[in-house]
Amino acid sequence: MLRRPRRNRKSPVIRALAEENTLSVNDLIFPLFLTAGEKKKVEIGSMPGIYRFSLDQMLEEIHTCMELGIKTFDVFPHIPDDLKDSYAKESYNPDGLYLNAIRTIKEQMPEACIMTDVAMDPYSSDGHDGLVKNGEILNDETLEILGKMALAQAQAGADILGPSDMMDGRVGYLRELLDKKGFTNVSIMSYTAKYASAFYVPFRDALDSAPKFGDKKTYQMNPANSREALIEAELDYQEGADFLMVKPALAYLDIIKLLNQNFDIPIAAYNVSGEYAMIKASAQRGWVDGERAMLECLMSMKRAGAKIILTYFAKEFALLSRK
Ligand code: PBG
């Protein structure tokens, strides 16, 4: 036997030399849930170790995470029902919970990179990402609302906007609007291939944002499709997206690889709430080693071609890499 692959596995040093991919805290984005009030830090039942923070607590959390090396945060708002309406008007209220928080975070910690979410669902009384009329999710009318939301977020100081709504044409619409208003330096990380997935349930619990009727299958992608992801990616690329995201991650590693092979801008993977919950739930029962399962799953996303990973494990990973 002239070729013995096991030689490259014979010691930790050799294994490290032969290692093809690495995980770094620099590649991680930590999603955070914001809620109204003060001194609130409420754990989400289906996401052990993940909380809804009031602004004061979120500022502390961001500070702690920055010291651990996490630099980018994706903030999502929990909006009380009485502020929701069918037009998601609260989403561009400059004095509302979310925009006030983004402004405060950027004022107090300008070096924190803040990503915001552009979609109607947290503010919509219908719980959908777009405007609903007669049971239908309207595309072009939604763009106008997303535009107001995105501009307000850019004005509040957001570094990266994350359109997660899957309306057609939204990246181009937002890019043109931002540029026209002078926000040429605000980035867009597009939820490019976002699938109609069963893995978003804990997130919808966290935000109380589940759709009030039907599902999201007329705008989010069919899990059976991969070639269609290339169409979405081509459009987002042409429309000016700076990053292309695949979501969820674990069941869609082939899509991450496909986009990475076909586009030269960085690919992001969203390791979603249900993926986090699966590992946490089985680890709590002692059925898998949670730490190793986390590292293996995150590495699978890197190996598939994700440069960036949005993950609820970010802080845990950062703490672990400190040891
Ligand atoms: C909605 C949005 C969702 C997530 C991020 N933005 C849920 C949905 O599409 O219903 C899910 C993230 C997660 O599950 O971690 N705009």
Task: Dihedral sign for Cα 127, 128, 134, 135, please.
Answer: negative
d(CA 66, CA 61): 9
Distance (Å) from CA 204 to ligand 1 centroid = 7
Helix (H, G, I), strand (E, B) or coil at 75: strand
User: In the prediction, which pLDDT does 112 show?
Assistant: 98
CA distance 320 to 314: 10
Q: Which two tokens stand for residue 122?
A: 């947290």
29 forms beta bridges with 72, 310
- Cβ pair 197, 223 in contact under 8 A: yes
Q: Residue 109's pLDDT is what?
A: 98
- Ligand 1 pocket test, candidate residues 76, 79, 116, 121, most atoms within 8 A of CB: 121
Residue 228 has a pLDDT of 98
Residues 25-74 have pLDDT tens digits of 999 999 999 999 999 999 999 999 999 999 999 999 999 999 999 999 99
What's the mean pLDDT when you consider all of the chain?
97
Q: Which of 303, 228, 309 is nearest to 266 (CA)?
A: 309
**Predicted local confidence at residue 70, as pLDDT:** 98
Q: Does 137 sit in the ligand 1 pocket, CB within 6 Å?
A: no
Atom of ligand 1 nearest to the CA of 164: 16
Q: In order of start, what are the domains of the chain with their CATH numbers?
A: 24-322 (3.20.20.70)
Using one digit for the tens of pLDDT, what is the confidence trace for 107-125?
Answer: 999 999 999 999 999 999 9
- Judged against a pLDDT cut of 90, whether residue 323 lies above it is answered with no
Which residues are tagged catalytic? 194, 247
**CA gap 220, 233 in Å, rounded:** 14
pLDDT tens digit string along 1-34?
A: 999 999 999 999 999 999 999 999 999 999 999 9
Section 126-144 average pLDDT? 96
CA of 190 to the centre of ligand 1 (A): 13
What pLDDT score was predicted for residue 156? 98
Give 208's pLDDT tier (boundaries 50, 70, 90). confident
pLDDT tens per residue across span 251-306 = 999 999 999 999 999 999 999 999 999 999 999 999 999 999 999 999 999 999 99
Measured in Å, residue 34 CA sits from the centre of ligand 1 at 14
Residue nearest (by alpha carbon) to ligand 1 atom 6: 164
SS3 221: strand
Task: Tell me: pLDDT of 214 over 90.
Answer: yes
* Alpha carbon of 233 to ligand 1 centroid (Å): 19
Q: Which atom of ligand 1 is nearest to the CA of 220?
A: 9
Regarding the beta carbon of 146 and ligand 1, being less than 6 Å apart is answered no
What is the per-residue DSSP string for 252-318?
GHHHHHHHHHH-SSPEEEEE-HHHHHHHHHHHHTTSS-HHHHHHHHHHHHHHHT-SEEEETTHHHHH
